[in-house]
Structure 1
């Protein structure tokens, strides 16, 4: 029965990404890149400048804080396990296509985050909130589609991503002698589910506080360790890049099995990691207190770059520079652990395990807190009752346990499918509403050229203030 379910999920996953999602993502990304004249590259320096711009209110969320929230949700097991899987199964060329989709996708991230800012709302405490559900409802006047998006978001972050996150974590222990495939995954899944449940029910505030502080440091440490491994193998760097480019443009090989090619795997794992255009980051973007929506749109492009061009690339180059064997049998954590052990010995795999534990734990919590916004929307813009949330958290912890014991293909397929469904609603919506974001960008640049600190007014782009909740 399980084999049948895995086969069905895999087939749906394959069809969804090729040809459907690849075409939608490429067209949307290229369209936004052309229409914005490459805003994600052209205004890169402006994006960096805006990071340090204060919110103007000590109690409000700044651009930097909102960007860090979305980056925290992006950075996780996908930066390590996802990239390893792409290289081992798809080939080294997956790195190139991951980079391409990152740069193109950054324009989609700009549009969705700008729209989230335009249509954001303010609660009774003066805090801002919003996201795709809100700009779909207000901009497209389509409440049913907004509800469907929220359902897919919950399916993605409470189910698909958490199944995969749990699986990825337990897979890092395969390299250790105590690992027993019959019992170890269940034990790890049980411990992870209990810890997560403890934090969700309010008992783990100290755990959450410590991990939220340690994880950024671990991310920096991970990049430093990767650079050390690459430096030890500096002689292989030229041949490594040649290998990536040769494999990326081996169209005969790609055409022979495109579903499992470096092209498809690069796009899949790139999307899973940076989530550009998926519709998740706008939920964080809407919380920022800025004077103009474009400011947050520009800052969010940096989050995509940090995730893919920095962290994912660190994993890819570290692994490829060592020349250790890559195949389906070692895809995931083992490939990364084999690579790092060539320089750090037994300490290398331990470091990866610790990093994965921290990344996975904060990702699990972050994913579930991300769902709160969708649940609030579905509950007529009101927070669900405590009883409902208790039942929801119990179900969520059970899903985490299940994720540790399911096959790898099922975990990846479930995450890919649910994420793909979100993207298939969000990206077309962004295209349909793109003119609003583009007019907003034009207004921003016009004000900048005249030496002003851009301040948004709905009338500047032909919108009625009554359409918006906060820009008045």
Structure 2
């Protein structure tokens, strides 16, 4: 069985997904007019007003933090180290490239998730790829397939992987026994998960920005302490990406292939663009500006922060440390800990252990949120089913804390790859809707208006949308603008 899983993983990541991810990233980049570069600054403008929410949804900032909670975890620390040892420094370049292209893909999938979102029986917004497959394409079977892959990947496998990373880091830094670490993770995760989607969002909003900033500042300290090495690091990454160093030795083709495969694989595992996971958080948000495309901009920023900021920090720490050995036996979180300790002293290993704990813990609760949303899609909010699922997820977290996981990692790659394929097919089929929404948003923005989605202007879409979700948005936005004008007049007087 293990051999079959490894075979399927190699097939998916050795050819199918490399072409799909790059090709679809290029496709959306071109069709959306290079939106991730042209409107780079606008991502931050949307973020300024991202704290608004209503009784049905979380804020856009909470949705960003929830998606970052899932993104920022083992992929940023252990995954970057694995990409470096397996694919060489050139893998980092391909991680950058897949992230830049993936920003356009993330815009597409998160915009669609916002458009086709629904309300569950508790009145909370829910949505994601399964929902736009059912509503936008009329293919519930496709949504069911996607949901099953996501439940395997995010409900079970990834949570085991995250718990395993926490247990390994805590054991290495403090000598804690994995059993006790596992029990602590289960108890802490349960206290958040059983509180529902809004408690998950509030926890992510509190923890993720603090830990991301702390890690960024530490990486900045390391880079500034070794600033003379920075040009050599970037030169090494670029040369290795295209096999310039290996060409003389006759290993060009193999070296480049390994750099591409490992860079793309770990890049997707880290930033998740195109996988269909982050849209589950994006759909839960109350967007501001009140338009589906605004959540696309927010989630583009998430991909940028994850890979081009945090993953680059990890790569810089490792490559500047002198601890990196191509195809070496030390890899994963152990390599990151050793690299940071070489730069700042023994407390570096402790810092990584603490960072892994918080990043991986928030990944567990965000992964659960994604899985619950898709379980609701399958079971229509069956309370007993959700309760049973929560206990099953906690059991998998406990298992991950205690087990060795080489086969589980391969299963994660397979389930993630199948998710991505189903989602990528769906967003290509719905690409016309994405372009239509992007043009509508940017037309209003260029005219100096607050971009507001009015479903009445798109009768071809109106019948596909959940009744009551978008119906009164235009009137609400006009009232909001009128209130602001009144306040401004009072202030001026």
1:40 aligns with 2:36: yes
* Deviation, structure 1 residue 185: 4.3
CA contact 2:200–2:365 (8 Å) conserved in 1: no
Tell me how far apart the structure 2 counterparts of residues 154 and 171 of structure 1 sit (CA, whole Å).
25
Tell me how far apart the structure 2 counterparts of residues 242 and 344 of structure 1 sit (CA, whole Å).
24
1:87 aligns with 2:80: no
Q: Which moved more, 1:77-86 or 1:45-54?
A: 45-54
1:213 aligns with 2:211: no
Tell me how far apart the structure 1 counterparts of residues 268 and 330 of structure 2 sit (CA, whole Å).
22
Q: Which moved more, 1:327-336 or 1:419-428?
A: 327-336
Q: Which moved more, 1:60-69 or 1:241-250?
A: 60-69
1:255 aligns with 2:222: no
CA contact 2:68–2:306 (8 Å) conserved in 1: yes
Match among 201, 214, 235 for residue 242 of structure 1? 235
CA contact 1:114–1:293 (8 Å) conserved in 2: yes
Change (3 A) 1:7 1:404: farther
C-alpha deviations, 1:187-218, integer Å up to 9, x for none? Answer: 54454345434654569x99997786344312
1:321 aligns with 2:307: no
**Map of 1:50-449 to 2, 5 A cutoff?**
50-53=46-49, 59=55, 60-123=57-120, 127-173=124-170, 175=172, 178=175, 184-186=177-179, 188-197=181-190, 200=193, 213-250=206-243, 253=251, 255-256=253-254, 261-290=258-287, 291-326=290-325, 327-379=327-379, 381=380, 383-386=381-384, 388-449=385-446
CA contact 1:443–1:460 (8 Å) conserved in 2: no
Change (3 A) 1:201 1:299: closer
Q: Which moved more, 1:364-373 or 1:419-428?
A: 364-373
* Deviation, structure 1 residue 384: 2.0
- SS of the equivalent of 1:223 reads helix
Change (3 A) 1:354 1:362: same
C-alpha deviations, 1:109-150, integer Å up to 9, x for none? Answer: 000011111111234665432111111001111111111111
Change (3 A) 1:264 1:283: same
Tell me how far apart the structure 2 counterparts of residues 128 and 136 of structure 1 sit (CA, whole Å).
17
Tell me how far apart the structure 1 counterparts of residues 117 and 174 of structure 2 sit (CA, whole Å).
52
CA contact 2:163–2:360 (8 Å) conserved in 1: yes
- SS of the equivalent of 1:278 reads coil
Change (3 A) 1:88 1:173: farther
Change (3 A) 1:247 1:105: same
Tell me how far apart the structure 2 counterparts of residues 158 and 376 of structure 1 sit (CA, whole Å).
13
CA contact 2:200–2:369 (8 Å) conserved in 1: no
Tell me how far apart the structure 1 counterparts of residues 112 and 201 of structure 2 sit (CA, whole Å).
31
Change (3 A) 1:214 1:27: closer
* Deviation, structure 1 residue 62: 3.1
Tell me how far apart the structure 2 counterparts of residues 124 and 390 of structure 1 sit (CA, whole Å).
15
- SS of the equivalent of 2:470 reads coil
Paired residues in the alignment total: 459
RMSD, aligned α-carbons:
2.6
Tell me how far apart the structure 2 counterparts of residues 339 and 101 of structure 1 sit (CA, whole Å).
25
* Deviation, structure 1 residue 403: 2.0
- SS of the equivalent of 1:64 reads helix
CA contact 2:5–2:411 (8 Å) conserved in 1: yes
Tell me how far apart the structure 2 counterparts of residues 455 and 191 of structure 1 sit (CA, whole Å).
45
Change (3 A) 1:127 1:208: closer
